Amino acid sequence: MRHISSLLIHGSGETSSTPHRSLKTPIYETASFDFESAEDAEKSFMGLNDSHAYSRISNPTVTELQERLKLFSGAEQVLCVASGMAAISNVFITLCKSGDNIITSRYLFGNTYSFFARTLNSFGIEARFTDFENLEVLEKNIDGNTRAIFVELPTNPQLILFDIEGIAKIAKEKNVVLVVDNTVLTPYLFPCSEHGVDIEIFSNTKFVSGGATSIGGSILVYKSDKWTANPKLQPEVEKFGTDAFFKRLFKEIYRNIGACLSPNNAYLQLLGLETITLRIDKIVDNSTKVAQYLLEHPKVKAVKYAALPHDPDYERAQQLTGGRPGCLVGVELQDREQCFRFMNALKMIRRGTNFCDNKSMIIHPSSTIYWDFSPEEKAKMRISEGLLRLSVGLEHIDDILADLDQALNLA
């Protein structure tokens, strides 16, 4: 078996199967495809062959990205969609109906929280925001209408690493689907296949895209028999067994919502996958050095990065990620004003909302991602006015530290 870095470059095939033996997957930038016959068209729409009919449903460039992500993750099935939020919405609309509930933490990315608290709620689906640091409380919130437990690993931007193995154990005992947003770590740093996860989600926009070249998301489905406990999926369970969730997702929800990934974006993300392990290795090394530097700086109030020995999640980071908890560093300054002065003094590090980018970026979550949340909501989510989210990039470590130093001195 080849190493993952080789598989992501070459795929599983020994030779090129593309027309003209192209060494890069062509961009099939087309809406529709020709059929050899009326019978062939009928079989395609019935799912009886592998031909492509319409790029909203499937496309050869997107299919190749999905195949590479299977190699990356060990997932049974992969579906690529238009964004990370499209991945989340497709998953929960597939799993849930009115009257159902999901269990999640309050410590979530702003749009994910809004989707659960507002959008799903308007369809009669309850999100139970629970204390994931107390697994007894989490377990007590599960009832006969619970369809999933959702976890960000780590939480964004609080950077908490929950006890995913304890959560997976509860999910197994209760026969509840476990969904993990693995955007920050990817299967390279945290292999969901080894930790009892049923569905993995990540934003391709981050590490996969190779430097924020494009927007996209992925849904990765692992082998599971939990679909049998979901009333909404019973027709698919009877027809497809352990493929029930993916069949419902692909045949109905994904097609009807229409959040397909464009072929051009799939091509860019295929290029990003070829170098993802190199970039993650370098970025995590930079992040650890940056976190250690900030921890020792007199103008920094606190630092959150689980590779630091003082961090409350240090042991868990060692266990789950081999001591490599990704690119995000939480930086706590005195207040909003100091944060703004510091950000405005940066010369190389960009003020931007992306992360896991080639470029180092920083953002003040309270005034941006969570700007429309009340002070009470922010407090419950541990979004303070002094919190900054720093995404460390690929620049030379000396240049990153120099920019941080001069900006802190000015702040």
**Residue 148's domain is classified under what CATH number?**
3.40.640.10
pTM for this entry? 0.94
How confident is residue 13, by pLDDT bands cut at 50, 70 and 90? Answer: low
Q: Which of 227, 255, 273 is the last residue of a domain?
A: 273
Q: How many domains does the chain have?
A: 2
Out of 33-42, 82-91, 217-226, 361-370, least confident range: 33-42
Q: Report pLDDT for 17.
A: 64
pLDDT at 1 over 70: no
**Same domain, yes or no: 398 and 301:** yes
Q: Report pLDDT for 402.
A: 98
pLDDT at 279 over 90: yes
How confident is residue 12, by pLDDT bands cut at 50, 70 and 90? Answer: confident
Percent pLDDT > 70 in the chain is: 98
User: Tell me: the pLDDT tens digits for 60-110?
Assistant: 999 999 999 999 999 999 999 999 999 999 999 999 999 999 999 999 999
CA distance 118 to 22: 47
C-alpha 299 chain-centroid distance: 32
User: Tell me: the pLDDT tens digits for 285-301?
Assistant: 999 999 999 999 999 99
Residue 79: name the closest of 92, 90, 66, 97 by CA: 66
pLDDT at 314 over 60: yes
How confident is residue 50, by pLDDT bands cut at 50, 70 and 90? Answer: confident
User: If you average pLDDT over residues 43-49, what whole number do you get?
Assistant: 80
**Same domain, yes or no: 245 and 314:** no
**Same domain, yes or no: 284 and 267:** no
**Same domain, yes or no: 284 and 178:** no
**Same domain, yes or no: 298 and 242:** no
**Same domain, yes or no: 180 and 72:** yes
User: If you average pLDDT over residues 262-282, what whole number do you get?
Assistant: 97
pLDDT at 387 over 90: yes
Q: Report pLDDT for 8.
A: 85
**Same domain, yes or no: 224 and 298:** no
Q: Which of 273, 307, 338 is the last residue of a domain?
A: 273
**Residue 315's domain is classified under what CATH number?**
3.90.1150.10
**Same domain, yes or no: 248 and 357:** no
**Same domain, yes or no: 252 and 352:** no
**Same domain, yes or no: 294 and 228:** no
Q: Which of 211, 240, 273 is the last residue of a domain?
A: 273
pLDDT at 365 over 80: yes
**Same domain, yes or no: 220 and 296:** no
How confident is residue 239, by pLDDT bands cut at 50, 70 and 90? Answer: very high
Domain of residue 318, residue span: 279-410
How confident is residue 229, by pLDDT bands cut at 50, 70 and 90? Answer: very high
User: Tell me: the pLDDT tens digits for 148-183?
Assistant: 999 999 999 999 999 999 999 999 999 999 999 999
Q: Report pLDDT for 176.
A: 98
**Same domain, yes or no: 248 and 300:** no
User: If you average pLDDT over residues 327-355, what whole number do you get?
Assistant: 97
Q: Report pLDDT for 16.
A: 59
Out of 9-23, 42-56, 351-365, least confident range: 9-23
